[in-house]
Amino acid sequence: MQKIILIVGLVIIVVAGAFFSWNYIKSKQVISAINNFNECAAAGFPVAESFPRQCRTPDGRAFIEDIGNILEKQNLIRVTNPQPNQLIQNPLILKGETRGYWFFEASFPVKLLDGNGKEIGRGIAQALSEWMTENFVPFEATIQFQTPTTSKGKLILEKDNPSGLPENEDQLWVPIRFK
């Protein structure tokens, strides 16, 4: 009787060991296949609620969410809608604020690109108050766009540059997702 219990116990230990080894190898394959923030978050690994958000895999790799160049431009232009990686629908209502010198004649151009870089919509952001200032001025734009074939894209807000001089060019870009 004791031999049977011993044999059954050994079989259980061997099966459990094989199961855990197989799961360990499988999890290592899943972890090594992760190459960006979205894959890390989709795999269920912890996401830090920082800005930008960060996801860390068990093997110590960290992935940062793509938020465009919002942090670099935050002292020049700020977008309140849409937020980075927000799901948008047609028409897109764009809102934010920018320094007065981003405008020319109270407006600046905005374009929407699909994930392949193809322009699918264009609009003009209008100042909502006095724009001839160095202070922040609220703006708004409505952009109609063609339904893209990609699930992601980019919203680009261009500093108006009537001179055409390269040194006067600037832009803010925000990654977005399409419904």
Q: What is the pTM of this model?
A: 0.77
How high is the pLDDT of residue 148? Answer: 94
Q: What are phi and psi of 74, to 5 degrees?
A: -60, -20
Rg (CA), the chain: 25
How high is the pLDDT of residue 22? Answer: 39
Q: Would you say residue 21 has pLDDT above 60?
A: no
pLDDT band at 25 (very low <50, low <70, confident <90, very high): very low
Q: Tokens for 162, please give them.
A: 């009537």
pLDDT in tens, 130-144: 999 999 999 999 999
pLDDT band at 11 (very low <50, low <70, confident <90, very high): low
Pairing relation of β-strands 171-178 and 77-81? unpaired
Pairing relation of β-strands 87-88 and 171-178? parallel
Cα(8)–Cα(122) distance, integer angstroms: 71
Domain ranges of the chain: 2-64, 70-178
H or E element at residue 2: helix 2-32
Q: Quick one: average pLDDT of 29-46?
A: 82
pLDDT in tens, 42-84: 888 999 988 899 999 998 899 999 999 999 999 999 999 999 9
CATH of 70-178, one of 2.170.190.11, 2.60.40.2550, 3.40.190.10, 2.40.160.100: 2.60.40.2550
pLDDT band at 106 (very low <50, low <70, confident <90, very high): very high
How high is the pLDDT of residue 138? Answer: 98
Q: Tokens for 86, please give them.
A: 């927000």
How high is the pLDDT of residue 31? Answer: 72
Give the residue with greater pLDDT, 21 vs 74. Answer: 74
Q: How are strands ordered across the β-sheet holding 47-48?
A: 47-48, 54-56, 62-64
Instruction: Tell me if residue 49 falls in helix, strand or coil.
Output: coil
Query: Which residue is listed with tokens 């994930």?
Result: 115
Q: What are phi and psi of 137, to 5 degrees?
A: -125, 130
How high is the pLDDT of residue 64? Answer: 92
What residues have CB less than 8 Å from 90, skipping those under 6 apart?
A: 144, 145, 147
Q: Quick one: average pLDDT of 21-39?
A: 64
